Amino acid sequence: MIDIKLIRENPTLVKQNIKKKFQDHKLELVDKVLELDKLNKKVKLNGDELRSKRNSLSSQIGLLMRDGKKDEAEAIKKEVNDINNQLVENEQLEDKYASEIKDIMMKIPNIIDDSVPVGKDDSENVEVEKFGEPIVPDYEIPYHTDIMQRLNGIDLDSARRVAGNGFYYLTGDVARLHSAILTYARDFMINKGFTYCVPPFMIRSDVVTGVMSFEEMDAMMYKIEGEDLYLIGTSEHSMIGKFKGQILTPKELPYTLTSYSPCFRKEKGAHGLEERGVYRIHQFEKQEMIVVCEPEESYDWYNKMWSFTVELFRSLDIPVRTLECCSGDLADLKAKSVDVEAWSPRQQKYFEVGSCSNLTDAQSRRLGIRVKGEKGNYYPHTLNNTVVAPPRMLIAFLENNYNPDGSINIPAVLRPYMGGMEKISPKN
């Protein structure tokens, strides 16, 4: 959510930002906010005048009663009572306008950074840099679920019977590999100075609307029937929610946190052959990193955060690239975002395995997270980034470490988490 002062002082800039995101249907929201803001100011001014008049009249009542002018005092009491009734109506109007303004402001997208390329959708994202040499071996690499099945590592049929499409059973060495990657990622981030957390896996609606747009909420979140609770789609939701309504001090910043959680997403729609298996699913696990920092430090942290993900993937012998998200591919709260994509030697192309985002003060405004400064309170910036999100990440791992005999190499950094194993071999 942006500062309403920006709309008052520079509505043209806000509208230009909306156009960059190709959301022209939201242009009218800026004018609606300005109109409601004027009405709200008028109502507040009226309320101030009524309270001032009431105070002046009330001070006369005691004097009149002391002088024995009871009738005049009663007349003024009646006038004060009428003012009180007007104030009730006026305050109801204030609440109404304030609520309407907030509802609209929640739909206006955050101001994107000047460096963000303008484009309609993810097809216009821009490659920034490649890390590692993408290799296409001279032997066939099977589809990832076929690799897992040969390792006796996945059971999709049973999962469909139990929960439907979009779920899975991981078993044996593949399940162990899944856990090993998460544990390695946890320790990797701890060694970077981040504090490890396990957050709540359900959050209330006021936290959901604080961390994401209404469109994202509808597309992603599962609601618990009969409760004001939602299953999280990523631990960022509850980790940023941790600071809701808090006043922080500058010496506490930055908060650098890495969190583990299961994640639950609706993933609406059909996504094609390459996204079957365990690519796009309703339930997965994830190691995340979150930073709450001073506004002037947020882009330094942004660059550090995505570079940590690149470093981790390269330590697992997986080539990756970074892709700058264009304006039309940014969710409404994001000011700048970069996707990390891993190389798929089977498809001979890159695919997304993580995303790093700077949301500037959009989330902290929505959640009322402030910093107590010497010259008054201000809003910190919030950032989030995927460390790893298996089992999707397993696709890249299995393909890039696949041998002609069907075995999977275990990189040196992961062997301590796999009981010293150097390879996983087919069971059949």
| Stretch 282-292: mean pLDDT | 95
Phi/psi of residue 236, nearest 5 degrees: -55, -35
> Could you read off the pLDDT of 326-369 as tens digits, one per residue?
999 999 999 999 999 999 999 999 999 999 999 999 999 999 99
Question: Looking at residue 402, what DSSP letter applies?
Answer: B
For residues 340 and 132, the answer to whether their CB atoms sit within 8 Å is: no
The whole-number average pLDDT for the span 397-407 is 96
pLDDT for the residue 76: 82
Q: Is the pLDDT of residue 100 over 50?
A: yes
The pLDDT of residue 61 is 75
Write down all domains in the chain, each with its CATH number in brackets: 4-105 (1.10.287.40), 122-424 (3.30.930.10)
pLDDT band at 179; cut points 50, 70, 90: very high
Tokens describing residue 159: 């999962």
**Model confidence band, residue 428 (pLDDT cutoffs 50, 70, 90):** low
- pLDDT at position 272 over 60: no
Q: What is the dihedral of CA 383, 387, 391, 396, to 10 degrees?
A: 120
pLDDT at 188: 98
Maximum distance among all Cα pairs of the chain, rounded to whole angstroms: 108
What band does 70 get if pLDDT is binned at 50, 70 and 90? confident
Per DSSP, what are the bridge partners of residue 261? 286
- Say yes or no to pLDDT of 370 above 70: yes
CA distance to 100, 352, 393, 400, per residue, from 317 (Å): 52, 16, 13, 7
pLDDT at site 56: 83
Percentage of the residues of the chain whose pLDDT score is greater than 90: 81
Residue 227 CA to residue 249 CA, distance in Å, equals 34
pLDDT at residue 276 in the model: 65
Q: Is the dihedral of CA 323, 326, 329, 334 positive or negative?
A: positive
Output the pLDDT for position 268: 58
What average pLDDT score do residues 9-26 get? 96
pLDDT tens-digit map of 116-171: 999 999 999 999 999 999 999 999 999 999 999 999 999 999 999 999 888 999 99
